[in-house]
Structure 1
């Protein structure tokens, strides 16, 4: 049903203006996201300033700050998007996470991972990524087990990022699907009781 049939001319114009503003806002956010991504392919996160992002996105600083408080907030948004897109969570499997797509993404752009994890901000970026994944897992784990959900979420998240770090530090010799199998085996063995 077309809602505009029941709107006055003023309401229709207002709705049209709002859609235009929303589209412009989404476009600007896309340019900002794209700018940070491009910069991360060339230099470390520590070396990137808001002014670098605004220059690359071809926007003013005021426009950047209308959308984000700082570059860390922008990074948090990007990490949230990447982790939700490239990691699937399943309560039906023994291993809660399928990160094959994340392993593939890292194999395709290893310089971005290096840019994020190098320098003084590396541990903070890693912690931010773990927290994002922990929050996603916590709600699922809360309803299904006797283990403290926050501990289980922390363990699984930290384990995944440890496996990712090991893989990148050792030259990414295994395929993404092999790494997912290794991660799954480690995760399952950690939570399976020894019945010897």
Structure 2
């Protein structure tokens, strides 16, 4: 059943309240009373929608994931057999639009639960894309796909943390997405300036 306008407005107010308060005070210092006061609603209304503040924060992550998946849906269909890096650009653009919510999540607020929810969601989505691409192209994974996907998502999360925190971002979403795409396509040795590397003498970590 679709939510009515009043419900959507109430939930938006609660989400804005917790994000603003957590950025100001830190998650542990924020109470339900603080959230309801900032959102100008009653405690009873809060509990009609959420069990506690962790549930509210988790829902923020899920809503962001749903919004991102909707934006990526058409691109995923087009990219079934190749990699352009445009999905990364879309992720960074979305993060810029929802900067405060992403900052709360990526800082690990809420005992890291929201961050794990975000990483697990991005990993599952990316792994599905990788596996579909392999199926379409006939490629075979050389590395464990779970580790491969988590490494890919981990790079994005770490760069997102760095990119979102300054008031003036160090480069455009398109530019940072291109760097991550080049890293994914060519590898770290290429990115570090090496043209080739002898297979029988791997580098130190």
Same fold (TM over 0.5): yes
- 1:102 is displaced (CA, Å) by 4.2
| Paired residue total | 175
TM-score, normalized by length of structure 1?
A: 0.66
- 1:175 is displaced (CA, Å) by 1.9
Q: 1:176 aligns to what? A: 173
Task: Name the CA distance, whole Å, in 2 between partners of 1:77 and 1:48.
Answer: 17
Q: 2:46 aligns to what? A: 64
- 1:136 is displaced (CA, Å) by 2.2
Residue 27 of structure 2 contacts residue 109 of structure 2 at CA under 8 Å; is this kept in 1? no
- Name stretches of at least 5 consecutive residues in structure 2 with no aligned partner: 135-139, 189-194, 197-205
Residue 88 of structure 2 contacts residue 177 of structure 2 at CA under 8 Å; is this kept in 1? yes
TM-score, normalized by length of structure 2?
A: 0.64
2:30 aligned to which of 25, 48, 51: 48
**Are residues 1:132 and 2:121 paired?**
yes
Q: 1:7 aligns to what? A: none
Residue 54 of structure 2 contacts residue 110 of structure 2 at CA under 8 Å; is this kept in 1? no
Task: Name the CA distance, whole Å, in 2 between partners of 1:161 and 1:153.
Answer: 12
Residues 39-97 of structure 1, C-alpha deviation per residue, up to 9 Å, x if partnerless?
Answer: 34533333322222111122222322221222222222212333443573633442566
Mark the CA change 1:74 to 1:161 in structure 2 (over 3 Å): closer, same or farther: same
Q: 1:75 aligns to what? A: 57
The 4+ residue runs of structure 1 with deviation greater than 6 A are: none
Task: Name the CA distance, whole Å, in 2 between partners of 1:99 and 1:70.
Answer: 32
**Are residues 1:141 and 2:123 paired?**
no
Residue 116 of structure 1 contacts residue 125 of structure 1 at CA under 8 Å; is this kept in 2? yes
Tell me the SS of whatever aligns to 2:25.
coil
**Are residues 1:156 and 2:152 paired?**
yes
Tell me the SS of whatever aligns to 1:99.
helix
Mark the CA change 1:135 to 1:73 in structure 2 (over 3 Å): closer, same or farther: farther
